[in-house]
Amino acid sequence: MKKVSLIFPVYNVAFCVENSLLSALSQTYENIEYVIIDDRGEDDSMKIVYRSCNNYPQKNIKIIDHGVNKGLGATRNTGIKYASGDYILFMDSDDILEKTAIQQFIDSLDDDYDMVVGSYVRKVQTKEYPLHLKNEVLDREILYHYLVGKKYYPQVWNKLYKLSFIKENSLSFIEKCNHEDNPFTFYFSACNPKVRILATITYQWIFRTESVTSVYREKNVEDLLSGYKFMCDVARKFSISDLYVIRYLNNFRLFPLWLLLKRIVISKQENTLLMGLMEPVSSFESINQLRMPFKEKLKFMIFYLPFSLKKMILKIISCTQNV
């Protein structure tokens, strides 16, 4: 029986952690190792966690104390470090895992997959928005299927990962970063894993309007810049110069650019952030050799101009953009 390590971070979630954790502890699949990381919040989250775990003495539960708050990326890296299962599954501590979720993931392992992706429902107050993926197997051009085909989503929760694949490829999360999912999934996909996708809903994403992904501040722009640079480094590492990757990276950095240029986010280090976000995705020669209309090439060529000039041009363009 395959062993699954369920990685469960805890930080200031006293208002919802009990229901979330109980949905994990009540899974119908038995061979689960629960890796709970205390990321040193300031509320009673961990008291609730200990109380809930005491009701399941038969479960294999590890509670790791971070000592100090390190953020979600570091928490997930800690989970990977302490996991001993054949597979790992990340879960956010304010979401709900369907009772048969892990059993359905395991039942889908009819071959040697590096990742199994489940469908989910996004819950916003009283409304539900299900995302049903297509039942299929992806075994080549995975980055293309992810970026262009939109075959699966960037969030790392609700996915069963083969732990050996993560370790063999030295995969980890950017630490002290609130937007670590996109870079991780980009890197994972660039390693060309074998992927199984399920149409069955296995997860409830409880969307909260006060979450870090729904309210943007200076820290968010800094983190998006870190993600952009990380993915550019991955593209260089694997010598990826495909047009669809260049387009994705170029588009990824436009959102934080508009936030700054439209003054939605005001930062004392605006020019430093802008300089990082305005770095060219690839060399001028590489862009020039790509087969695309000249009008589209201009979108990339802007970023080779002197800083003050491209800032002025992009500021004018930003006035036409919705954020």
Q: What is the pLDDT of residues 217-227, one digit of tens each?
A: 898 999 999 99
User: Is residue 230 one of the residues assigned to a domain?
Assistant: yes
What residues make up the domain containing 153?
Answer: 4-206
Residues 6+ apart with CB under 8 A from 10: 17, 36, 37, 38, 39, 41, 45, 46, 49, 93
Question: How far apart are the C-alpha atoms of 166 and 88, rounded to whole Å?
Answer: 10
User: Is residue 94 one of the residues assigned to a domain?
Assistant: yes
> Would you give the end-to-end CA distance of the chain in angstroms?
48
Residue segments in the chain with a per-residue pLDDT below the cut of 70: 209-215
Q: Are residues 200 and 251 in the same domain?
A: no
User: Is residue 39 one of the residues assigned to a domain?
Assistant: yes
> Which pLDDT does position 211 carry in this prediction?
55
Q: Are residues 193 and 234 in the same domain?
A: no
Q: Are residues 44 and 170 in the same domain?
A: yes
User: Is residue 213 one of the residues assigned to a domain?
Assistant: no
Q: Are residues 145 and 78 in the same domain?
A: yes
Q: Are residues 132 and 197 in the same domain?
A: yes
Q: Are residues 71 and 151 in the same domain?
A: yes
Q: Are residues 167 and 282 in the same domain?
A: no
Q: Of 157, 186, 206, at which residue does a domain stop?
A: 206
The two three-digit tokens of residue 311, written as one number:
């800032």
> Which pLDDT does position 290 carry in this prediction?
85
Q: Are residues 156 and 229 in the same domain?
A: no
Q: Of 161, 179, 206, at which residue does a domain stop?
A: 206
> Which pLDDT does position 14 carry in this prediction?
96
Q: Are residues 76 and 125 in the same domain?
A: yes
The total of structural domains in the chain comes to 2
Question: How far apart are the C-alpha atoms of 304 and 307, rounded to whole Å?
Answer: 8
Q: Of 206, 239, 254, at which residue does a domain stop?
A: 206
User: Is residue 38 one of the residues assigned to a domain?
Assistant: yes
> Which pLDDT does position 210 carry in this prediction?
59
